[in-house]
Structure 1
Amino acid sequence: MKTVTVHSREGYQQEIMAGSHAFMSDLPISEGGNETAPEPYDLLLAALGACTSMTLRMYAERKGWDLEDIRVELSIHKSPGEKDVIHKKIEVTGDLTEDQIERLRYIATRCPVNLTLRRGVEMEEEIQLASTYQATTNIPRD
């Protein structure tokens, strides 16, 4: 089971702890934030892009293919009342055949984050009043 902890900071700025890694999220100025870090949808797209690229790299290495570089560009189109649409454009470089490129296109749909998003997830939520809470951080505040 993966656990990530998010702790609110000043305004909409959020400190995120994922294992031993600390990073931030914020909203754009146009939405009341200070734009000090990526917004939540940027992080969602980054997770999908990173997972896609890692999956392609792993597959190509196992096959012994000459996959030199991978670039994944993602965008999300939000439609009120309809399903959101994520567009994923992948560019690869290397000495690859058309069949290998087609196989990589398929493998890109099989990365774990891609599969989770396509299947959807069940959410379990709880809220409680914290009796004692001590925040720890590795990220300096502005």
Structure 2
Amino acid sequence: MSITAHTQKNYMVAISNGRHTILADEPEHDGGYDAGPNPYDLLLAGLAACTVITLHMYADRKQWPLEKVHVRLDHRKVSASECDDCESTGSAKVDIIDMDLSFEGALDAEQTARLMEIAKRCPVHRTLLSETKIRTHHEPTLTT
């Protein structure tokens, strides 16, 4: 999997996976043109999309009557001391992502509970919770 990105204008960025291109930008009050979601919006969008797809794939395999999944994600940074269930302590900042889910379809309580567990198993969710290394290299001839 490879993503490329390049400056369009100011903070506006064209992002491509080779088949699709989207724009990212900052809001006008931060100096952008508000031409697309900001980077944190895109991060949450990836998690939301992965969660919805994972839940539909699981329900399809189980032949459960899941018709639609609705996800709302909110991101904020808090001091570790404000986070009761965080491992970090002191003045460190912790990223909190709250995920609210609802389902449409004739699901029973057991199926709903299982889908809530499966939501935590989407690949993007697992990546965000795992140890991740980002290795940055200078490529003078890189163009996108």
Give the TM-score, by structure 1 length.
Answer: 0.88
C-alpha displacement of 1:82: 1.3
List gaps (5 residues or longer) in structure 2. Answer: 80-91
C-alpha displacement of 1:83: 1.3
Question: Per-residue CA shift, 1:79-102, capped at 9, x if unaligned?
Answer: 363110011111101111111000
List gaps (5 residues or longer) in structure 1. Answer: 136-142
- SS at structure 1 position matched to 2:42: helix
Q: Which residue is 2:24 aligned to?
A: 25
2:122 corresponds to 1:111: yes
Q: Which residue is 1:90 aligned to?
A: 101
Q: Which residue is 2:65 aligned to?
A: 66
Q: In structure 1, how many angstroms separate the alpha carbons of the residues matched to 2:97 and 2:40?
A: 11
Q: Which residue is 2:88 aligned to?
A: none
Q: In structure 2, how many angstroms separate the alpha carbons of the residues matched to 1:57 and 1:120?
A: 27
- SS at structure 1 position matched to 2:93: coil
The residue identity in structure 1 corresponding to 2:4 is T
Aligned mate of 1:123, from 116, 124, 134: 134
C-alpha displacement of 1:116: 0.2
- SS at structure 2 position matched to 1:79: strand
Percent identity of equivalent pairs: 38
Q: Which residue is 2:38 aligned to?
A: 39
The residue identity in structure 2 corresponding to 1:121 is T
C-alpha displacement of 1:9: 1.2
Aligned mate of 1:102, from 97, 113, 134: 113
Q: In structure 2, how many angstroms separate the alpha carbons of the residues matched to 1:53 and 1:91?
A: 10
- Residues paired across the two proteins, number: 132
Give the TM-score, by structure 2 length.
Answer: 0.87
- SS at structure 2 position matched to 1:123: coil
- SS at structure 2 position matched to 1:78: strand
The residue identity in structure 1 corresponding to 2:63 is G
Q: In structure 2, how many angstroms separate the alpha carbons of the residues matched to 1:102 and 1:14?
A: 40
C-alpha displacement of 1:29: 1.2
Q: In structure 1, how many angstroms separate the alpha carbons of the residues matched to 2:27 and 2:135?
A: 28
